[in-house]
Amino acid sequence: MHLLITGGAGFIGSNVAEMALASGHQVTIVDDLSTGYAENLVDMDVDFLQSSILELETLAKAMRGVDSVIHLAALGSVPRSIKNPVATHAANATGTLTVLEAARAAGVNHLLAASSSSVYGLNPALPKHEREWVRAMSPYAVTKMATEQYPLAYQQSYGMETLSFRFFNVFGPRQRAGHAYAAVIPTFIDSLLKGEPLWINGDGFNSRDFTYVGTVCRVLLDACERRISHPEPVNLAFGTNTNLLQLVTEIERTSGLAADVRHRDPRPGDVPHSQADNQSLRSLFPGVMPVTLEQGLQETLNWFKEIQ
């Protein structure tokens, strides 16, 4: 099978590429390296095109001979979207439409897209079911609504086989710290290993459904291999609920180090609590076995120690 991975030099994309190659698949990657890293692809036998997904000519070339597209390219981060909503819209909403149009023009009829649990926003329901109402709290969340809804519209309009996943706080190796928009787990681990304070935005009781990247990659690859499509978004998480104080405790236990925890004001646009209803995921992927938070943190900690 020939896979095209947009954003394939990024955290999730490079892990998917590695797993796909190990399974014997051919991989093409399009990534402009705005948030990805070329070193993530070292020793991977991929066809790498350094380009924005807004470049139709490059996408047309990348689509040749492709069986399935895994669309991960995006500008992540709620704070980044609040600072620059237009750039986030261009990359995430317009970028998704551009990828879909390139796939349609090339006759590539299967596409997976990465949406986000942030679309639930102000909806307080826990766990969050895909048919619950959504209410965005940030420009990023709005763009992720477009990212999931465009592929669903292409099912109805053009008969394309698509599947829009809502990711919930994916973590693991290759997710980097050290920049303004870093996710919480790499930020905490990096700070702990450097002997720096762990800053928590708010009281620490905000909770998340953390999902290990290896589990996410297995689901994505299985979806391509079996050409799974679905007429509604699908939560890609497993119903866990860990608040930030509990997360710190687990990272301390895994690392054997004591954290210097400090608090600051909450960030605008942050969803207070996130937990997935995973009935749809389980019905489509009954064999998936999620990696536990404990095991995932150990793998992530090992990776950070290797790159220090």
- Dump pLDDT digits (tens) for 92-114: 999 999 999 999 999 999 999 99
Instruction: Please calculate the CA angle 29-118-190 and round it to the nearest 5 degrees.
Output: 70
All structural domains of the chain, each given as residue ranges with its CATH number in brackets, are: 2-171+210-239+277-290 (3.40.50.720)
Contacting residues for 43 by C-beta, under 8 A, at least 6 apart: none
Model pTM? Answer: 0.94
Calculate the alpha carbon distances from 40 to 16, 36, 110, 181 in Å.
11, 8, 26, 19
Quick check: is 181 catalytic? no
Q: 130 with 152: CB under 8 angstroms?
A: no
- Dump pLDDT digits (tens) for 7-43: 999 999 999 999 999 999 999 999 999 999 999 999 9
Which region among 26-40, 80-94, 155-169, 198-212 has the lowest average model confidence (pLDDT)? 198-212
Alpha carbon 304 to chain centroid distance?
Answer: 19
Distance between CA 165 and CA 268 in Å, rounded? 25
From 140, 150, 154, 212, the catalytic residue: 140
Q: Rounded mean pLDDT of 76-93?
A: 93
- Residues composing the chain: 308
Among 231, 255, 260, which residue's Cα sits nearest to residue 304?
A: 255
Q: Rounded mean pLDDT of 274-281?
A: 94
DSSP string, 192-259: HHTT--EEEESSS--EE--EEHHHHHHHHHHHHHTT---SS-EEES----EEHHHHHHHHHHHHT---
8-state DSSP, 109: -
Calculate the alpha carbon distances from 125 to 68, 145, 181, 233 in Å.
34, 18, 27, 17
